[in-house]
Each structure stands twice: as structure tokens, then as C-alpha cells.
A and B are shown apart, each in its own frame.
Chain A
Amino acid sequence: MIGYLVLENGEIFEGERIGATNVDTACEVVFNTGMAGYLETFTDPSYAGQGIVMTYPLIGNYGVIPEDFESEQIWAKAVFIHELAEFESNFRKKDGLNKFLRDYKIPGLTNINTRKLTKLLREAGTMKGYVTSSLDNMTEIMKKIKDYEVGQVVKQVTTKQPVSYGKSNEKQIVLMDYGFKHNIVNSFLKRDVGVTVCPSTMPVERILELKPDGILLSNGPGDPEKCTKEIDIIKKLSKTDLPILGICLGHQLMALAHGFKTAKLKYGHRGPNHPVKDLENGKVYITSQNHGYYVVADTVKPEIAEVSHINLNDNTVEGIRYKNKNIFTVQFHPEACPGPEDTAYIFDKFINQL
């Protein structure tokens, strides 16, 4: 069954429909450069509202492995791949990718020219698009694309109730859930630290009632500036003495809470191969990344904080250390999944402060 991806600039890519073939949807089209890790990527809540172009051409090779999911469901709105593997090979695989997409009612296109699409996104920047089987009503399609906005998606992905993982006699942290990935929680449990995952707008008084030893601000989707309630809570949390670690969206929200500015990258950093320099020890680490927004370096006020990590490719801010406080935040993903485990030391550093 033939399907199309219509982009906001009017360009049309033809492919074959996979997954939920009866679902047409608008999305923000972004590309991911990972060669393995499609399951972690599709189930990462930070992709809520987005359609993912996989630049690696063969997707689905090792099938579907539920224990590799980073959340309970697929959060991407659509996926675009060059070739869907029909014969999966891996000892843990349960299903094929096509069925997996169907089960979660996620549409996709295969046999689509992902290289051309990626080049286009790199040149023109991230674009909105629409997945459909019919081009009969282009005016309506273009209107749907125009009206589409990823918007404030954190409220869709955050937990409704606090949930506790692991009973630890040692330490306990609160994770502010803006769309957390499972491996963040696992990274703490592995180090014998218990985690309570809390809704993104839980009032500070209730957070403090849990008597946490530290706070983690998780990753998540969408425009950080839209998260006004979350930012207010972070402002209050920053005034306590609690150690705070921010990851990705959490990093951006902490910056906004201190009056720094965020902006949108032309086409984002999404992939497992971004070199980041830790300015403290001069070492370079290969990091896993997934973000469309960044903290503008010039707006980081030197009397409040300093840049601790930079991206070697484009010199953007990758980490901030706040002065006279136990607060530091990183733009990359120390929990990996998918991607290199090189920066897991960030968790050790945070836990040592608890």
C-alpha cells in the first residue's frame, strides 16, 4: 500500500505504508542517526509529537525486544525507514517491527528515500509533515500541517501518580518526570539508590514530604519555554539545599529557572555519536543525544553558573554547573539506551553528593 509523507514546504516523499496503515497523522519530522537502538528510540517519551526518520537503512533486524523499551509504549507519532527487515535475528526477539507498530497504532513508511529526506532536513531545518495514503485533498493536508504544533507535551507523558522503584536503605531520590527513560531509574537502582517518580507539576511541599536525598529532573519532549509550571517548581526546588541533577529537558528547564535562554537548533542532535568535552578534566566522551532545543551559551550568567561541558561538533552548551549549589545539569544522556555508556560517571558524581 502506497503512502506519502507531505512536508510543510510542499515536498512529497513516496513510500510503502507499514504499521497502522489506516492512521494519518501530522508530526514534526526529525532524523536519528543511530545504527542500533531503534526500540529505545521509538519508546523514548522525548520523541512525543515527532516523526522519526532513521538514517540507518535497515531497521528491524533484531526484531522487537520488550525488555529494551524505555517506556511502556511508542511515543513517536510516525517512523520513516529505508528498509524494513522481514527476517529478524536475535535470541531475545519476540515480534517483528511491523506488528509492533500496528499494535501501538503508529503509522510508518518504508522504501522511502531517507537519505534525501535527511539532507533536506539538514539544509532546511526540522519541518512539520503529514503521513497519508491519499494526496486527493492537498489543501486540507497543508492546513493540517500548518496548524500542527508539538506544544506542551510533557503533560501527556508524565506519570499521573507518584510511583516508587526499589526500596533502598541507603538513599532515595525524587525523579521529576517530564518523560523519563527507564534506564535513568535503572541507573540509580543499580547503584542502590531508590527512586520515586513524581508528576511534573507536583507541588514542592509534597515533594519535600517524601524527604528525598536529591532531585533528578528528567529528559522529556517539546519546547522548554512552554513548561512554565514545571519551571516555577524548579525555581523553588533550587532554593532548597537538595542536590539536583538535570538531564536533557531537565537541564534546559533549570537554565530557564535561572533566567538563561533556550533556542531551537536547526535540525537537532539525535544520535549515539556526539563528542562532548568535559571542561573540568579535558576528556572527550562520546554521548547519546536527543534534543531539538539548547541553552544559549551567552545567556548563562557567570555570577550564577558556568558551562561545564561543550559539544565538540558545534560548541553548544552540553552541561552547566551552578555556583555555590549542589546543582549540575547535562544536555546529553548519561543513561545511554541507546548509545554509548561512556558518561555513566555523571550518576556516580551525583550520588556522591547525596
Chain B
Amino acid sequence: MPKNNNIQKVLVIGSGPIIIGQAAEFDYAGTQACRELKKEGIEVVLINSNPATIMTDKNMADKIYIEPLTVATVKKVIEKENPDSILPNLGGQTGLNLAMELAESGFLEEHNVRLLGTGTEGIKNAEDRQAFKDMMESINEPCIASKVVENIEDAIDFTREIGLPVIIRPAYTLGGTGGGIATTMEELEEIANSGLRMSRVHQILVEKCITGWKEIEYEVMRDSSGNCITICNMENIDPVGVHTGDSIVVAPSQTLADKEYQMLRTSAIKIISALKIEGGCNVQFALNPNSFEYAVIEVNPRVSRSSALASKATGYPIAKVATKIALGYTLDEIKNEVTGKTYACFEPVLDYVVVKIPKWPFKKFLTANRTLRNANESNWRSHGNCAELRSRLNESHSFFGRKYG
């Protein structure tokens, strides 16, 4: 399907402030998107609250609004500029959330603004925890098994079903008081009983404990005709439990045999096909290191932090191609600019290894929590390509060593 010529004027929502947890990767993606839109002869209106970005440079868009990224201001910009479309999936979570709010409130429809890329239903199914779980169940893709129970018998039954260890999370308690990890049935009884007692509503969540599993990600692209490719996969050297942003990540995966690699690749493609993603998408898996058992952790229905890593690692311009897909092109119509002859519909292979190492700005933020956990604390990363994994790791470490050693 060629480009949709009804698209003449597009509003791009920028990534906002560069804060811990949301780094400059989104500026990189948004900038690529603006360039691509302009190249296609489309009028670009940009809104971003952060003037210190590349995308807010004068020549990146036709109109630039440096305004707070709130529903009210975006509404005002739409009323003033009358764009026919909005590109929400390249500015990180902020842009996506704003676009979703505007779509769900009916504002976009009222003003005849089309949402480019993945539809609202797909975004909702990926972002809403329960909707996502239901969808995964309907296509037989395993999520992390969990169940809300109100008595000890149900807790024991469910644990027997999913196997130990399990995490007990009591409902309505502060900071997880009364919860914990049970590795034996005795521990389960003890923790579940105390959890039930502590919970105001006498309710606990029993969840399969996957701490220590391998964390594997796939960067996937899909177009409106349903063609799917994986750009690359990545393996976190740290196991599940440490946020990807804080993990040492290598691309491609190092410890997966082809059987595991393809099992997860097939699953990632099944998932983005079910969500009807149009553009880039990131699928995160937890893989049991001692079996083929895996669980889908989450899906980002947009260009994400990992897309920037995947893009730099492979040379595949993910944001650019995602923009073209949003305009209606299919993967086999988009030229591969590296070769000039072939198309964007292929899977990059590497003859090197890429390592990403995080840097934590603890020197500047003295009171920041220094424990690695499931929220992102790092703000700067060293990327590098090298044929040898070991020398690359050493290089990255020494690079930071000089800075805060």
C-alpha cells in the first residue's frame, strides 16, 4: 500500500524533559520522525516542553510550540493549527499518553484528526494490564501467572498449580508490608497468612516468582499489511528484577540456542500481529534459565528506549521506518538506505556484539536510592560495538571508571 496522500499536516508530540528514566533516546526518535515527514513534503507542527532538544531546532519542523505537554495545551495547538493527523508513537510514553487521552475523550474525532500508526485499541490492549493479560490468554501466550485470593486454601491450591517459588503481595498495604517470596509450602502458609491478616480487605495476590530468569527483548516492526520483522533481540546480563534501563544489555542474545531464539521471536511476532501494531514495538520476555518456559513481561507499543539501542546496534533506522509505516507505506516499499537497492523488509544480522552499560548519576543526586530494582535510575549510557564481548565490557567499564571511579 503506498503513502496515504490525505496526510498533509502532522502534529508531532515531543518527548518533554530529559529526566531519569526518560533519556535523550526519544529526542533521537522524534527528530528522525520530523525529518522523514518533511522529506515526504508534509507540514510538521511540533510541540515539546523542552527547548534543549535537537527536535526543537528551527529547521526540524514548520511550526514549533515550546509549551507544557498537557492535554489542555495540546488541545489548544490542535485548535489553532488544525493538523489532519497526529503522530504519537515516537515521543516516548508522554506523547503516547497524551494522544490516547485526546483520542478517548473524542477530541481527535471532533477535530478530524487521525491517529497515525497503531490504533487506539492496540495501544490500549498493550498498555492496560488487564486487557493485555486477557489478550495474551486469548492467543495462548503465557504471562506471569497470578491470582487474587482471599483465603489460605486458595493460595495453596494456586501455588500447587503454578509451582514454587511465588511472591505474595497483600492488597492495600504500604510498601508491600506482609508480603514476601515463598520457596517452600511452609513458608507459603506463613507468608500468606500474615499477608491476609495485614490486608485491609483480606486479599492477597499470589504471583509466580520469576526472579533470576533471563530477561530477553525483541525489537519488532509491523506494517499495515501485516508484514513483520524483528530488528534484533537483546539479552540483559542482569536477570529479571533489574530495570532494563539499569541493566547491562547485549545484542544479540548470547546464551540462547536457535530453538529458544526462534521460540521467542515467533511469540513476539504473534503478539504484535494480535495487537495490530503499525510501526515499531518492543516485547519483553522472561525466560526460565533451566527450561523452555517463558512469560511475556510487557509490550511497548511505540518506539522505546530499547529501540534506540536496537537502532544504533544494527544501523536499522527504526524511527524513520516507523514514521513511513505510519504514513501508509509497507515494509517492502521502503528503501534500505544503506544498500540503496534492497528494502527495509529484512532482518539485520551483526558481525559484532553490542553492549550497553548504564551510568548512575549518584554523584549528583546524593539522596537517590542506590539499590537496583524495577525502576530506572540511570541517565547516561555507553554504547559500543566490538567483535569481542569481553573487551567491549572492559572498555565500557573503564570509560566510566575515569568519570566517577
Contacts and interface: CB of A to CB of B under 8 A. Distances in A.
Interface of A: 33-37, 39-40, 55-58, 61-62, 65, 68, 82-83, 89-92, 114-115, 118, 271-275, 277, 282-284, 286, 312-313, 336-342
Contact of B387 (A34, A57, A282): A57
A147 B268 CA distance: 48
6 contacts: A33-B349, A36-B261, A55-B351, A56-B350, A114-B351, A337-B258
Nearest to B265: A340
Interface in B97-148: none
A115 B352 CA distance: 10
A61 B291 CA distance: 17
A341 B349 contact: no
A275 B254 contact: no
A273 B253 contact: no
Given A56-B252, A275-B345, 19 more contacts: A33-B349, A33-B351, A34-B349, A36-B261, A57-B351, A57-B352, A58-B353, A62-B255, A68-B259, A82-B387, A90-B256, A273-B346, A283-B227, A286-B230, A313-B342, A336-B262, A338-B258, A339-B262, A340-B265
A71 to B, nearest CB: 15
A338 B261 CA distance: 10
A299 B269 CA distance: 36
A92 B258 CA distance: 12
Nearest to A88: B255
Nearest to A285: B227
Contacts of B388: 57-58, 83
A237 B294 CA distance: 45
Contact of B256 (A36, A58, A283): A36
B225 interface: yes
A341 B266 contact: yes
Contacts of B227: 283-284
B339 to A, nearest CB: 8
Contacts of A339: 258, 262
Contact of A274 (B290, B346, B353): B346
Contacts of A37: 257-258, 261
Q: Which 5 A-B pairs have the closest CB atoms?
A: A37-B258, A273-B347, A338-B258, A57-B387, A89-B255
Contacts of B262: 336, 338-341
A57 B255 CA distance: 14
Interface residues of B, number: 38
Given A83-B387, A118-B351, A40 B332 contact: no
B289 A91 contact: yes
Nearest to B330: A284
Contacts of B78: none
A37 B263 CA distance: 13
B343 interface: yes
Nearest to A35: B252
A342 B387 contact: no
A339 B259 CA distance: 9
Contacts of B349: 33-35, 55-56, 271-273
Contacts of B387: 57, 82-83, 115
B166 interface: no
A342 B269 CA distance: 9
A56 B351 contact: yes
A341 B347 CA distance: 14
Nearest to B387: A57
Contacts of A57: 351-353, 387-388
Contacts of A336: 262
A282 B225 contact: yes
Contacts of B229: 275, 286
A287 to B, nearest CB: 10
A188 B331 CA distance: 32
B258 A275 contact: no
Contacts of A338: 258, 262
Contacts of A286: 229-230, 346-347
Contacts of B252: 35-36, 56
Given A57-B388, A83-B387, A339-B262, A284 B345 contact: yes
A193 to B, nearest CB: 21
Nearest to A336: B262
Contacts of A82: 387
A274 B226 CA distance: 17
A89 B190 CA distance: 36
A283 B228 CA distance: 9
A89 B250 CA distance: 15
A283 B353 contact: no
Nearest to A93: B257
B389 interface: yes
B212 interface: no
A37 B262 CA distance: 10
Given A57-B387, A275-B345, A39 B351 contact: no
Contacts of B257: 36-37, 39, 62, 65, 68, 90, 92
B48 to A, nearest CB: 35
Interface in B255-300: 255-259, 261-262, 265-266, 269, 289-291
Contacts of B269: 342
B348 interface: yes
Contacts of A68: 257-259
A64 to B, nearest CB: 10
B95 to A, nearest CB: 29
Contacts of A62: 255-257
A272 B347 contact: yes
Contacts of B259: 68
Given A34-B349, A40-B258, A286-B229, A312 B342 contact: yes
A118 B290 CA distance: 36
Contacts of B352: 57
B255 A90 contact: yes
Nearest to B291: A91
Contacts of A33: 349, 351
B353 A312 contact: no
